[in-house]
Amino acid sequence: MQKRDELYRGKAKTVFLTDEADKLVLYFRNDTSAFDGEKIEQLERKGEVNNKFNHFIMQKLEAAGIKTQVESLVSDTECVVKKLDMIPVECVVRNIAAGSMVRRLGVEEGLVLDPPTFEFFLKNDALHDPMVNDYHITAFGWATQEQIDEMKRLTFAVNDVLKPLFEKGGMLLVDYKLEFGLCNGELILGDEFTPDGCRLWDKETRKKLDKDRFRQGLGSVVESYIEVAKRIGLDL
């Protein structure tokens, strides 16, 4: 398989076509962004760390019966993935109150949510990813009700797999976002699962080990990602 032309350039990843119509290459760059791209920096090794972290997590999910886009690593910073017709919403599960939930609802950061909450957000940086619901998604034709129900089911299934994995490593999975797409009509987990798209805290100290370190200027961003990986059995 050969990498071809650039298809799409996101905030931290570049997508390339290949000589196989149903396969793409994801290139994880060292770019790190926050606040809908308003803050951008290059962090050494971040692309490599996120590429390998994502592959590791997707393997765990595949082993649990959750189908993912990722097929194989092809370099330190690249992986081969299935080409999906992406649904333009993010699925967010929160186990603990943090981030936008705290700002929107005025609740205390660190409040345990029992049961966990689920939210949809439209993927649109210009609009700052507004929250949407099932009715918006069906009315605008972004997904069917059946697909919505399946996205919810799969997003919570991911929680069932990853929450204990991180807890075993002495961490709390605070929240995370997922994106899904269609491959031959089947709903499949796409995009990535890395500390860029979730919140992880040390279980004892509540030290932040995710992209909030970048957002909040706490430093040691990549070092924290590497620490998370090591705690769950991935040496980088």
User: What's the average pLDDT block by block, 10 residues per block, for the chain (236 residues)?
Assistant: 94 96 98 84 97 98 98 98 98 97 97 98 94 98 98 98 98 98 97 98 98 96 98 97
> What b/e sequence results for 75-97 when a residue is b if at least 16 CB atoms lie within 10 Å of its CB, and e otherwise?
eebbbbbbbbeebebbbbbbbbb
Question: 104 — alpha (psi -120 to 50), left (phi > 0) or beta?
Answer: alpha
From residue 173, give the alpha-carbon distance in Å to each of 69, 197, 221: 22, 11, 17
Residue the block writes with tokens 């970048």: 214
- DSSP secondary structure of 22-91: TEEEEEE-SEEEETTTTEEEE-TTHHHHHHHHHHHHHHHHHHTT--BSEEEEEETTEEEEE--EE-SEEE
Question: What pLDDT does residue 36 have?
Answer: 73
Q: Whole-model pTM?
A: 0.96
Kindly state whether residues 123 and 163 are assigned to the same domain: yes
Question: What pLDDT does residue 141 have?
Answer: 98
Question: What pLDDT does residue 179 have?
Answer: 98
Question: What pLDDT does residue 38 have?
Answer: 78
Question: What pLDDT does residue 207 have?
Answer: 98
Kindly state whether residues 201 and 115 are assigned to the same domain: yes
Residue 124 lies in a domain: yes
Question: What pLDDT does residue 26 have?
Answer: 98
Kindly state whether residues 74 and 98 are assigned to the same domain: no
What DSSP character marks residue 232? T
Kindly state whether residues 97 and 209 are assigned to the same domain: yes
Structural domain of 67? 3-82
Residue 235 lies in a domain: no
Kindly state whether residues 206 and 110 are assigned to the same domain: yes
Q: What is the number of domains present in the chain?
A: 2
User: Quick one: tokens of 2?
Assistant: 């050969």
Kindly state whether residues 17 and 71 are assigned to the same domain: yes
Kindly state whether residues 68 and 128 are assigned to the same domain: no
The one-letter code for the residue type at 32 is T
Residue 58 lies in a domain: yes
